[in-house]
Amino acid sequence: MSFAWAKQYEPQSAFTKWLDEKLPFPRLVYNAVGAGYPVPRNLNYMWNFGVLAGFCLMLQIVTGVVLAMHYAANQAVAFGTVEHIMRNVNYGWMLRYAHANGASFFFIVIYLHIFRGFFYSSYKAPREMIWLLGVVIFLLMMATAFMGYVLPWGQMSFWGAQVITGLFTAIPLVGEPLQVWLLGGFAPDNAALNRFFSLHFLLPFVIAGVVILHIWALHIPGSSNPTGVEVKQESDTVPFHPYYTAKDGFGLGVFMILFTTMVFFLPNALGHPDNYIEANPLSTPALIVPEWYFYPFYAILRAFTGDLTIPFTGIVLIPAKLLGVIAMFGSILVWFILPWLDKSPVRSGHYRPLFRKFFWFGLIPTMAALFYLGGAHAEEPYIMLSQIFTAYYFMHFLVILPIISQIEVPKPLPFSITEAVLGKDKAVEAPRAGTVDGTDAGTATDGSLQPAE
């Protein structure tokens, strides 16, 4: 599957010819991430994070499988086996620190990948399915990361499990039985630890499966690009290999420098000291917070302190606890309808003056504030600030984006990626078929140029 001008795989040796007939795996690689996959020539470094996320997933699976060889999921010994890994197992300290910091870096990469999508509207047609699958991957990652954090059976592990499964008790009627069922007991204990380990081992492979669907869906329209103008001709693209393998390789090098710096010099900087205290069901730590990558959603959860009532009657429609849980899940689920909330036909934020202002001065500061507030104590002024920023967060997606896409006058789009890069495009000298008034140039693609299977 690719554009009409994509290079075709031609096996050279007798062996590769033989293999290509029996199992065309090299052909698959060639067409997916090789010279047979034409990619827009103007991708910037924000397009590195997909490959980096794939690398992080492999890193987590490799280090995780190795750690599982030395870990025991039993509440009597789990904490001890983690210390055993740290002290006795050869290079155990390195593998565990790589796995723990790998999770953090995975989320850093994914957040940048997601916000690339927000700014360049990567979620818009024809790429909605890529976006939807991406949100599914993000939800699976959150579940996996949460269950992984429970496994060391420290104080934060235990109380994190208690609080997060406690979210389900907010559901009317079935909430409490549901929590008991999830935990296999009335509080987190051996049953919960065991099943979390089982699922923590399973889910990364489920993620890998959805990642394959994500990439498959990507290869049908091909990558988006910083102009948001669709690929029109061969001069708009370069082959993935060697151009983007090299660019991604450079990005991977930068990533590894930062990652190894954390693993070897600041391995616990992103963790909580309380998790080096063994789980104690009778003592709650003074401040229960999740890992840093959940802070924005935790801040939204804690922002709801009052019930939703019918004014002056005192009838409670939705209790505060359920409101918080709905808002927390809703803050991610709203991404599922994002392709239909933002109706502007222009994709790239570079050509959307109004959207751009709200992105840089609205959404980004809001996310930064929620990141900070999620880790703060549940007291004023943090609660009120959480409420303000939570309100803006939902406003941005549900109100501001739809309105902007109605009233905004976008800047003129370049005719093609080639014109955007070189300043001129030979094809422009020929009579123009499309318009460049910014309404359809970015979306209308010539049917004959649609990539085919």
Q: Which residues are catalytic?
A: 219, 223, 247-248, 291
- Tally Cβ neighbours within 10 Å of residue 285: 18
In whole angstroms, how close is the CB of 129 to another protein at the nearest point? 29
In whole angstroms, how close is the CB of 289 to another protein at the nearest point? 9
In whole angstroms, how close is the CB of 98 to another protein at the nearest point? 31
Q: Which is nearer to another protein, 199 or 449 (CB)?
A: 199
Q: Which is nearer to another protein, 20 or 189 (CB)?
A: 189
In whole angstroms, how close is the CB of 163 to another protein at the nearest point? 4
Q: How far apart are CA 26 and CA 13, in angstroms?
A: 12
CB–CB of 401/337 below 8 Å? no
Distance of CA 13 to the CA centre of its chain: 41
Q: Which is nearer to another protein, 128 or 189 (CB)?
A: 189
In whole angstroms, how close is the CB of 185 to another protein at the nearest point? 5
In whole angstroms, how close is the CB of 360 to another protein at the nearest point? 32
In whole angstroms, how close is the CB of 272 to another protein at the nearest point? 14
> Where do contacts with another protein occur on this chain (CB under 8 A)?
159, 162-167, 169-170, 180-182, 184-187, 189, 191, 195, 281-284, 286-288, 302, 304-305, 307, 319-322, 324, 378-379, 383
Q: Which is nearer to another protein, 124 or 302 (CB)?
A: 302
SS (H, E, C) the chain: CECCCCCCCCCCCHHHHHHHHHCCHHHHHHHHHCCCCEEECCCCHHHHHHHHHHHHHHHHHHHHHHHHCCCCCCCCCHHHHHHHHHHCCCCHHHHHHHHHHHHHHHHHHHHHHHHHHHHCCCCCCCCHHHHHHHHHHHHHHHHHHHHHHHCCCEHHHHHHHHHHHHHHHHCCCCHHHHHHHHHCCCCCCHHHHHHHHHHHHHHHHHHHHHHHHHHHHHHCCCCCCCCCCCCCCHHHEEEHHHHHHHHHHHHHHHHHHHHHHHHHHCCCCCCCHHHHCECCCCCCCCCCCCCHHHHHHHHHHHCCCCCEEECCCCEEEECHHHHHHHHHHHHHHHHHHHHHHCCCCCCCHHHCHHHHHHHHHHHHHHHHHHHHHHCCCCCCCHHHHHHHHHHHHHHHHHHHHHHHHHHCCCCCCCCCHHHHHHCCCHHHHCCCCCCCCCCCCCCCCCHHHCCEC
